[in-house]
Amino acid sequence: MEEITWNDFEKVELRVGTIIEAFDYPEARKPAYKVKVDFGDFGIKTSSAQITKHYTIEDLIGRQIVGVVNFPKKQIGKFMSEFLVTGFADENGDIVLSTVERKVPNGSKLI
């Protein structure tokens, strides 16, 4: 593992946002959803996430998640991802979302 400095860490904009919409993404190579997330002052951003094993679309609406909002946009098939959804792989390699324990304002930075 490569060590980074505090300055390196501060460059990563890990922000909390609330999922306001989620859709099936049948064109994805691996099962995924498209999500639209409200990041407060950082705006509403879209991304895709391979989280279909643990979450239904209904489970996602209103859930606060942690995303990286300062990566450049990335083309994923015909879809443009505007942020990185964060999570952890479980024992089967399926993604569990990074979330917050209590509700915090959208756009709050991980510190």
Model pLDDT for residues 47-97, shown as the tens digit of each residue? 999 999 999 999 999 999 999 999 999 998 788 999 999 999 999 999 999
User: What residues contact 21, with CB distance under 8 A and at least 6 apart?
Assistant: 35, 36, 61
In percent, the amount of the chain with pLDDT more than 70 equals: 100
* pTM over 0.75, yes/no: yes
**Sheet with strand 84-85: strands edge to edge:** 44-49, 33-38, 14-24, 64-68, 84-85
Q: How confident is the model at residue 22 (pLDDT cuts 50, 70, 90)?
A: very high
In percent, the amount of the chain with pLDDT more than 90 equals: 92
82-100: buried (b, 16+ CB within 10 Å) or exposed (e) per residue?
A: bbbbbbeeeeeeebebbee
Read off the pLDDT of each residue in 26-30 and give the average, rounded to a whole number. Answer: 89
Q: For domain 10-97, give its CATH number from 2.60.120.260, 2.40.50.140, 1.10.150.120, 1.10.260.40.
A: 2.40.50.140
Show me where the domains of the chain are located.
Answer: 10-97
